[in-house]
Amino acid sequence: MATNVSFLDVNLMINGVKLVGFASGSNSIDPEFPDPFSDEVGADGRMVIIKNPDRSFTITVTLQSTSTSNTFLRALAKTGVPFTVAYTDNSDRLEAGVSTQAYVRSVPNLSSGNEDSDRVWVIRGERWDDVQLQAAN
């Protein structure tokens, strides 16, 4: 059975505002999470599994320079106030998550010239909670 995957099914919302104007490419929204477990192997070859309590996340977002979301994110970054971020992928993957304690970690430089340059934003947060999506019937 084929899997249906489309970027049209992906949404990234910040304080209820949907980001728009994503750059073309394979990783316009790129979430990263710490490893949930680490391990240590002793001299006798026995392994200890250590559960990582770190639920932080980093989302790298690449927007076109003409995206209105650049202005929104730049204004939000200036406040320094934590915000809510929600990610949903309603394709066959049904992935979603939310955090209420995120902030803009990296603001892109403004650049203009003969070629269009994308704006790369880095959003960081202390706690990511996965959300279970239901498949449409």
User: CA 94 to CA 86: how far, in whole Å?
Assistant: 14
Residue 87: per-residue pLDDT = 87
User: CA 60 to CA 117: how far, in whole Å?
Assistant: 16
User: CA 83 to CA 19: how far, in whole Å?
Assistant: 14
Give residue for tokens 């970690």: 105
Residue 18: per-residue pLDDT = 93
Residue 40: per-residue pLDDT = 93
Residue 81: per-residue pLDDT = 94
User: CA 137 to CA 121: how far, in whole Å?
Assistant: 36
User: CA 73 to CA 7: how far, in whole Å?
Assistant: 21
Residue type, 69: S
Question: Do the Cβ atoms of 54 and 35 come closer than 8 Å?
Answer: no
Residue 24: per-residue pLDDT = 81
Global pTM value: 0.78
For residue 106, list its beta bridge partners: 122
Please give the class, per CATH, of domain 8-130. Answer: mainly beta
Query: Which residues of the chain register pLDDT less than 70?
Result: 1-7, 26-28, 30, 91-93, 112-116, 133-137
Taking every pair of Cα atoms in the chain, the longest distance, rounded to a whole number of angstroms, is: 62
Which tens digits make up the pLDDT trace of 56-65? 889 888 899 8
Residue 109: per-residue pLDDT = 81
Residue 136: per-residue pLDDT = 56
Residue 77: per-residue pLDDT = 95
